[in-house]
Amino acid sequence: MNLRHAMKGRRALPAVAITTGLLLTVAGCGGGDDNGKPKSHSSSTSSSGQDQEGTQQQSQTPSADKVLATAKDGDITVTINSAERDQGGFVTVSGQVTNGGSSSWLGADWQSNETELAANGGSLSGASLVDEKGKKKYLVLRDTSGRCLCTKFSRVRPGDSSSWFAQFPAPPAGTTKVNFQVGGMPPAAIEISEG
Q: What is the pLDDT of residues 141-175, one digit of tens each?
A: 988 887 888 888 788 999 999 999 999 999 998 89
Average pLDDT, the chain: 74
Whole-number Å distance between alpha carbons of 15 and 28: 20
Q: Check whether residue 28 and residue 94 sit in a common domain.
A: no
Range of the domain at 162: 69-194
Whole-number Å distance between alpha carbons of 109 and 121: 9
CATH, residue 174: 2.60.40.1240
Q: Is residue 126 within 8 Å of residue 182, measured between CB atoms?
A: yes
User: Residue 111 domain-assigned?
Assistant: yes
Q: Check whether residue 18 and residue 93 sit in a common domain.
A: no
User: Residue 53 domain-assigned?
Assistant: no
User: Residue 55 domain-assigned?
Assistant: no
Burial class (CB in 10 A: 0-12, 13-18, 19+), 165: buried
Q: How many domains does the chain have?
A: 2
pLDDT for 8: 53
> What's the mean pLDDT in 60-84?
83
For the cut 60, the answer to whether the pLDDT of residue 7 exceeds it is: no
